[in-house]
Amino acid sequence: MMKPVVQLDHSQTTPLFLQIYQRLRQAIAEGRLKPGDRVPPMRNLATELNLARGTVEAAYQMLISEGYLLPRGPAGTIVSPQLAHQRPRQLATPAPPIASVQQRPAGALAFQMGMPALDVFPQSIWARLLNRRQREDGIATLTYPDPQGYSALREAIAAYLGVSRGIACTPEQIFICPGYRSALARICRVLMQPKEAWWFEDPGYFHAKDCLLENDANLVPIPVDTGGINIEAAIDQRPDARFALVTPAHQSPLGVSLTLSRRLALLDWANRQQAWVVEDDYDSEYRYVSRPLPALKSLDDGGRVLYIGTFSKVLFPGLRLAYLVLPEAVQERFLIETIRCPHDCPYLLQATLTDFITQGHFSRHLRKMRSLYAQRREYLCQALKEVFGNRLRIDLQAGGMHLLAYLEAGERDKVWADKALMAGLSIQALSSWRQSITGEPGIMLGFTNVSSPEHAQILAERLRFAVQ
């Protein structure tokens, strides 16, 4: 069956693994391979085509990471049944952003930012813990959860924050929320008056911007440079702001860390003004040159920092579990709001996560991801350098989950992002993350799902082809 699907042209300059990838993808798009169909075992296809197994494996890995194929262990690899919900043409030519939100293939899009490595999450451990809780916890799994969050999970998070992020807090200060934006919206509802001013990093995380605007905040864009958000400029511009939203560990999206002197200046301003600092600590665990930096919250003697953590990056975003750590002085106000208007997260997921943390799987997973991501980052860096040479200038930072690469003067990053998307590559344009401050054009590329040097090479080649 496969012979007509995979026929290689050895005279072409296109690498053989890329040809295999393209042929299979084309066959899926044209309906010659249908959702649920088995594709040939890698070894058989390699023998048939007289190639090394690694060559076929690189193509399969890429199709798996893009959601076209689904590995089924000993049962073989099949075309993803999820694709049954898509029309063939959408597979060949990826849909524009709005449609792709609803209809993207399962798994991460190539280069998708902020997505952890989905291929290495220990699903069998997770499933075992979840099943055990479902079996043993009986009624607790069926009723309404504690609106503040499962108490044993809050205890586990408090212990983790003490050890890993230098934050001393009690479980009572922690509020579990279904994702970062829910935590942010909750802060607006409890502490903000309409139109109050927020210092907001420029460039900065667009989902946070949208969420704050939706909640009637007044955003004051503050420039970010190599030392993070410029606190002096912020004080010059709006000393009377009521809030500052910052990403001190790895600024989103530039990846720089907020310097100690700026951290202290920020806290000093907040104490003097009785303003609130919201710390978004979304991916601080991923640092490749040294241990993760302590959180800003660890320096917060005056009780002005509201800390938001999420499990989206350290585990997986489908979990929809984030948390707020509050200063003691506002705990009660949040509790009242939470009881009046709960933001519940399912008990079963919270209980499973508790076991995952307390039984040591969480810290093991993090350790593994740190070294895996360092490796994957290197794969992508090398491939981009090889394929693009001086066309891209990579700005390598100490941590994070994506690469930032600046384009040559005159290039338009939004055009790159649009063209890449048409080729199924989810890169982001730096200028789309800016508000009022203009700067060099650049692109952001997630590297966490780049599984091998060959995969990196394929993706880099595809990007070059897309933007030429």
Ligand X SMILES: Cc1ncc(COP(=O)(O)O)c(C=O)c1O
Site residues for ligand X per CB under 6 A: 114, 179-181, 205, 247, 252, 280, 282, 310, 312, 317, 322
Nearer to ligand X among residue 67 and residue 248 (C-beta): 248
- Closest to ligand X by CB, 131 vs 432, is 432
Q: Minimum distance from CB of 317 to ligand X (Å)?
A: 5
Specify the residue, 77 or 310, whose C-beta has the smaller distance to ligand X: 310
- Smallest gap from Cβ 464 to ligand X, in A, equals 26
Our CB check for ligand X shows the closer of 247 and 457 to be 247
What is the radius of gyration, based on Cα positions, of the chain? 23
CB of 309 to ligand X, least distance (A): 9
CA atoms of 307 and 160, how far apart (whole Å)? 14
CB 110, min distance to ligand X, A = 17
Q: Which of 317, 280, 293 is nearest to 399 (CA)?
A: 293
335 phi, psi to nearest 5 deg = -65, -45
Minimum distance between the CB of residue 247 and ligand X, rounded to whole angstroms?
A: 6
Q: How near is the Cβ of 115 to ligand X at its closest, in Å?
A: 8
CB-wise, 20 or 208, nearer to ligand X?
Answer: 208
| CB 179, min distance to ligand X, A | 3
60 versus 150: smaller Cβ distance to ligand X: 150
CB nearer to ligand X: pick between 183 and 463 = 183
